[in-house]
Structure 1
């Protein structure tokens, strides 16, 4: 393994492997099919990147996450390693060029989505590449009982027919026993060697707290733990709201969600990474490729969709081995809200069919057409036009995305159109007087010959690549030309892009994949029930509950979670406190924080007393989380 260690040192500047990395690499080098289940932060990518660099040929990496593919390719390129990703939106001609580069350009890594491999011409090209290893990332997607099932993964076993002597390395951060069995079976892995790191995180204390005033509790937590923190929320609006509230309270907070531009994401990320901001408020768009070792606290203020996602997000705390906290704050109304959000908005078969047809009509795609067409997409506008529920529509589109019919990219995009307003000879005259702008203008004219006649869609990254100039400079030139009346320039931001991966065939398209809908809906119901059990179970260690979910059975309390702490500091009911609360509620409806402020009792004692009164049906809780007499 000395060569492997040398490569690790040369490219990644590490002098030793993390737990199980060395063993996984050795298994792959011995030609064995291998399943690696390493919790988040375990360094899964090193397990295929190092052995691929040790062997002749190219490593084929299958990943469902466009952002993660781009991130890994960028990181490899920064290290001087040749890598390519064939992501959505790349035209056929450009894709042919990229595959030629893989075949003749001494590239070491080719990243593909599983859906890409369903194109026969791409598969034919891949079959002729000198593949030395097939790495399947996010391998839980092959399982119908996983939290992100993608049917295209089921076809990856066909690669075994074309590369019978090439090892498969399946990687995932989370897998229940049932999911693990399906990964091995559905990828047709041959007697795989299985490496599974324990899901236990001894330095991470799992806490669940019921509180009506989440902001007040967050304030207490962040004051007590002033180190870097992450607060996960479920939508972009909450990102802005919580960040604004925390900044008003004197904390330095920034935010991150899928609707930000690349520059805004980078700016906010660096602000937090460099600890100019203590707190990052984020949706689940934040996390891939994030490696900040000293995160002290990860707080969830809304219920997660499943325990797999929760475990990965919570696991971003304490990677330096120091004591850290994963805290989930919830209210009695959160269960109803989560049920409404995750279960009541699940689409049925008829709704999925309707959504697909309406999307085709919305983008004016004729029957038998549409494959590889790409559109800027505003979900709210679409739902308003057809009077659809936004959340239910999103779930239906997400299902179509998982089945490979569509690709919904929520990365920030910028839709630019241009048209020259003056004759070509006047443009040439301008160039002669402004030679610094010449290369950019001539490149635009060569790329878009019809730009004098009509508003023309403009690809900013393409022109930047061709001219070897930064996008900011091209923007400056376009703005200058607009101010001088030479150019009409429109720029509109869009928060998502929709790509049609198949021709429109309405019923034929949907009937092939609709059988997967009911099992997937049931999986989502089971996942939410597991989350509700995690927060509501008051008789078991939180760490024990999480480990049991992932198939690790332990009967030893962790001693640090909210349940274990409650055992060491039992809260006894205070009869006078319940009477005091009943007296207070005779005058006004109050929330728990208001009761806490008036009575000057600890929040744990208040919660206990309120629960007792609720169980006795002496009080009730309103939708605004205020208590009244029953």
Structure 2
């Protein structure tokens, strides 16, 4: 292993391997099929990059994550290692040239998506390459029981027939026992050596708090721990809203989501990486490939879809080994809202078929035609035309993308961006002087939160529908507002692209994948239930609950999670809490929040003591909901 260590030192400037990197590399170098289950941040890429550099030939890396592929290729090129990524939007001629480079150009890594393997001519060209290792990243995608199943991954097993002596290395960060077994079976791994790093994070305190006022608790946590933080939310609007609220409270924050322009993404990322702001408020678009070791807190203010994603996102805290916090804030309405947002927006076979037929009609694709045709696509425009719910439609499109029926570009961006550049009172003055424009202006203001703060993507069709006018009237008003310097308005032509990978066959197309849809919907139901169980279970250690979910044997309680801390603390006596409340109320009337802030006692102890004091008429409630002595 001395040569492997020398390569690690030369290119990555590390003096030693993390457990179990060295063991995985040794297994691959011995020519064994290998399965590596390593939590996020464990250094999976090193496990295939180093053995590939030690042998002649090229390493084939299969991954569904386009952004991560580009990132890894760029990082390899920076250290003068030749690598290529075969991503979407590349013509057949360009692909052929790339494969020529791989065959004759002494390249060491070829990254490609599993969908590329479905093209027979590409597969034939790959068979001719001097492959020394086949690495399958995000290997859970090959299992129907994995949280992001992609049938295209099933094609990887065919490579085993052509490269029987070449080792396969399957890598994933999250997999239950059932998924692990299925991955080995579906990839046709031969007596694989299995390496699993424990999911336990001894320095990470998993905290679940039931709160009424999430913003108040968020403020408390971030002011108590002023180091770099990530706050995960479920949608783009919440990114802007929460970031704005934190800034108003004196906590420097920025935000990140898939719809931002690349320049704004880079700008916000640098602000956070350079610690010019404390908090990054983000959807799950943020985090993949992010390497910041000193993140102190990762906070979820809405319930995640599954524990796999939660574990990965929470695991971005405390990678420097110091104590860190993974906090999940739960309120009484969260369970119901999660079920409606997640489960009610899952497409069934009927809605999937209807959406697919309308999609083909939208682009005027005739039955039996459409293969390899590519179109510019605006999901909002499509949904407005057919009166489809956006989130359910997006989930249906993602499902068709994972099945390989279509290829959908990863980011949606509107044709138009708008930002109001004058104060709100001046906008009101403008509408009073120009009443004919009022409905369109109000429709924008009501629809797009944050339109005063940042340049905001705007959907012309949606605004026209809400203002009950024609699209050309909306455009005319936007031009007028721009001329009068009321808004900053940009028309863009960078819609998403959608590529049809098969001929249109309606029923046959959808019926073929319907069983996968049913399995995935059933899985999502079970995964959400696991999240709800995790949130409500206050009878056991949070770390042990996660270990149990991933099939790992449980050890001792972690001692630092919300359950363990509550167990370890002596319950505050009601009499001492009541005495403290009376002392505080001698100074002035206070709300329950103020009492909690000044007393430092737990919420439940304060609530119980207040109830006792009310019952014995020691205190009373004022009309402003503050408590005072009687």
TM-score, with normalisation over the residues of structure 2?
0.80
Question: Tell me, what secondary structure is at the counterpart of 1:95?
Answer: helix
**Structure 2 counterpart SS, 1:366:** coil
Give the secondary structure class of the aligned counterpart of 2:285: coil
The 1:511–1:607 alpha-carbon spacing in structure 2 relative to 1, beyond 3 Å, is farther
Q: Work out whether residues 28 and 51 of structure 1, in 8 Å CA contact, stay in contact via their aligned partners in 2.
A: yes
User: In the alignment, which residue of structure 1 is the partner of 2:337?
Assistant: 337
Report the CA distance between 1:554 and its aligned residue.
1.4
Conserved? CA contact 2:572–2:601, under 8 Å: no
Alignment-derived partner of residue 537 in structure 1: 537
Query: Which residue of the partner structure matches residue 357 of structure 1?
Result: 357
Preserved contact between residue 64 and residue 138 of structure 2 (Cα < 8 Å): yes
| Residues 577 and 605 in structure 2, CA contact (< 8 A), matched pair in contact too | no
Q: Which residue of 1 aligns with 2:195?
A: 195
Would you say the 8 A contact 2:24–2:36 is kept in 1?
yes
Deviations 1:227-281 (A, max 9, x none): 1100011111111111111111111111111111222111111111111111111
In structure 2, what is the equivalent of residue 596 of structure 1?
Answer: 593
- Output aligned runs, 1:73-88, within 5 Å: 73-88=73-88
C-alpha separation between the residues in 2 aligned to 1:496 and 1:534? Answer: 37
In 2: Cα distance, 1:573 partner to 1:527 partner: 39
Q: Deviations over 1:58-101 (max 9, x none)?
A: 11100011111111111111111111111111111111111111
- Give distance in 2, aligned partners of 1:608 and 1:162: 69
* CA-CA distance at 1:410 after TM superposition: 2.6
Relative to 1, partners in 2 of residues 1:266 and 1:493: Cα closer, same or farther, differing over 3 Å?
A: farther
Match of 1:396 in 2: 396
Matched, 1:70 2:90: no
Q: Where does residue 270 of structure 1 map in the other structure?
A: 270
CA contact (8 A) 1:378 1:494 kept: no
1:497 deviates by 3.1
Q: Give the Cα–Cα distance (whole angstroms) in 2 for the partners of residues 183 and 148 of structure 1.
A: 13
Distance in 1 between residues matched to 2:87 and 2:136, nearest whole Å: 16
User: Could you tell me how far 1:369 is from its partner in structure 2?
Assistant: 2.8
How large is the RMSD of aligned CA atoms in angstroms? 2.4
Q: 1:612 to 1:22 in 2, by over 3 A?
A: farther
Q: 1-side partners of 2:72 and 2:161: how far apart?
A: 28
CA contact 1:573–1:605 (8 Å) conserved in 2: no
Give 2:115's aligned residue: 115
The superposition leaves residues 190-238 of structure 1 with CA deviations (integer Å, 9 ceiling, x where unpaired) of 0000010000000000000011111110110011001110001111111
- 1:355: how far off? 0.9
| Alpha-carbon separation, structure 2, partners of 1:254 and 1:245 | 11
Q: Secondary structure at the match of 1:115?
A: helix
Alignment of 1:71-470 (within 5 A): 71-411=71-411
Match of 1:419 in 2: none
Say whether the 8 Å CA contact 1:260–1:412 is kept in structure 2.
no
Shift of 1:361: 1.4
User: For 1:471-504, what per-residue CA distance to the aligned partner results, in whole angstroms no more than 9, with x for missing partners?
Assistant: xxxxxxxxxxxxxxxxxxx951546432222222
Structure 2 CA distance for aligned equivalents of residues 409 and 611 of structure 1: 56
Greater shift, 604-613 or 214-223, is seen at 604-613
Deviations 1:173-201 (A, max 9, x none): 01111111001111100000001000000
What is the aligned partner in structure 2 of residue 460 from structure 1?
Answer: none
Contact 2:37 2:195 in 1 (8 A): yes
User: How many residue pairs end up in the alignment?
Assistant: 528
Within 2, Cα distance between the matches of 1:140 and 1:573?
49
1:130-189: CA deviation from partner (whole Å, max 9, x where unpaired) = 111000000011111111111111221111001111000000001111111001111100
* Whole-angstrom CA distance in 2 between matches of 1:94 and 1:234: 37
Q: Is the 8 A contact 1:25 1:51 kept in 2?
A: yes
Cα drift, residue 565 of structure 1: 0.7
8 Å contact from structure 1 (residues 261, 412) kept in 2: no
